[in-house]
């Protein structure tokens, strides 16, 4: 008898299914699972699924351990019980950072936000989205082109500034980024801007010299305005999974990152990256990029994130 689907077709079909659908398919394979508890093969499959979705080792093992214990107690009677267990375990990961998800705004004068991240994560686009976010709340936004190294970086931000109707502080390509930062803070103060968002050169977290330039920028900003920068936001590409956690660790050690922006969170198969990063570093996720338009930047909502995973 011929097969309707090849092994490759079946693998592609499984990839189309949500994480929750795949998790449920394994955990509730048959009625016997609910009576006897999950067997070792099913647990291993669930563990592999969570790790492949970048939940990280710690959260994955806790979910599996809890699932095993509750199954043995006879507390899993169907999909609703399984879903609630999963939701409860996810909430535990985010609880330590739950009180830090709001933005820290300056008591007086402009709020200064330093945006950092590696090349290719969508940092410049995220800056534009963040500017629109503040504009929609009646704030006067000033942008600063602190990426003076990448060819076309200043022009790219210039186009966004023109589209947004924002003023842009810039210097010539190759200028000292710290000098740009100093001028930008001075301009924000004198022009009574509400928000100053500073772009920075994208760099690999393994490039020590370039990371030190970021440290210098932050120091110069603080000298020009007490308490600034008020936020150091690290933009991460959600599709990179565990590599994003490695990036976050180095940036945080050097700069004291205050929050994360997860770009490309919509539709990613790496749904667990937010869980892994939060569990490892305790950093709050402040925004999520959920699409291509300027309006597609949302304040991170834990319940919506969990609902997305469990859909």
> Binding site for GTP: residue ranges?
117-124, 199-203
List residues bridging with 147 in a β-sheet.
none
Q: Which H helix or E strand runs over 285? A: strand 285-289
> What does the angle CA 247 – CA 282 – CA 199 come to, to the nearest 5 degrees?
45
CA distances from 15 to 20, 49, 185, 306 (A): 12, 11, 47, 19
The alpha carbon dihedral of 90, 53, 18, 263 has a sign of positive
Q: Please, which residues have CB within 8 angstroms of residue 86's CB and are 6 or more apart in sequence?
A: 20, 23, 63, 309, 310
Closest by CA to 93, choosing from 281, 303, 275, 300, is 275
Tokens (6 digits) for 186? 């001075």
Q: Which residues are annotated as a binding site?
A: 117-124, 199-203
Q: Which residue in the block uniquely carries the two structure tokens 């410049």? A: 124
Measured in residues, the chain has a length of 311
Q: CA 107 to CA 109: how far, in whole Å?
A: 7
């Amino acid at each position: 008898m011929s097969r309707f689907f090849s092994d490759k077709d079946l693998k592609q079909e499984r990839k189309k299914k949500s994480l929750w659908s795949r998790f449920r398919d394994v955990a509730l394979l048959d009625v016997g699972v609910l009576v006897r508890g999950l067997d070792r093969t099913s647990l291993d499959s669930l563990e592999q699924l969570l790790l492949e979705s970048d939940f990280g080792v710690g959260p994955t093992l806790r979910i599996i351990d809890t699932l095993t214990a509750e199954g043995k107690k006879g507390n899993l009677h169907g999909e609703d019980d399984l879903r609630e267990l999963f939701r409860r375990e996810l909430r535990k990961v985010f609880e330590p950072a739950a009180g830090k998800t709001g933005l820290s705004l300056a008591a007086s004068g402009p709020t200064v936000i330093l945006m950092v991240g590696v090349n290719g994560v969508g940092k410049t686009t995220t800056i534009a989205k963040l500017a629109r976010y503040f504009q929609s709340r009646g704030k006067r936004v000033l942008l600063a082109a602190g990426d003076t190294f990448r060819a076309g970086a200043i022009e790219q931000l210039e186009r966004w500034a023109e589209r947004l109707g924002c003023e842009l502080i810039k210097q010539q390509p190759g200028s000292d980024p710290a000098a740009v930062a100093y001028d930008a803070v001075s301009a924000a103060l004198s022009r009574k801007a509400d928000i100053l968002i500073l772009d920075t050169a994208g760099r690999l977290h393994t490039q020590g010299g370039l990371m030190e330039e970021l440290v210098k920028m932050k120091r110069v900003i603080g000298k020009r305005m007490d308490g600034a920068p008020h936020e150091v936001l690290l933009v991460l590409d959600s599709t990179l999974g565990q590599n994003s956690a490695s990036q976050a660790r180095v940036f945080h050690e050097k700069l004291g990152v205050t929050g994360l922006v997860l770009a490309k969170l919509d539709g990613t198969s790496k749904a667990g990256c937010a869980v892994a990063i939060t569990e490892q570093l305790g950093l709050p996720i402040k925004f999520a990029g959920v699409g291509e338009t300027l309006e597609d930047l949302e304040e991170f909502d834990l319940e919506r994130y969990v609902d997305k995973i469990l859909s």
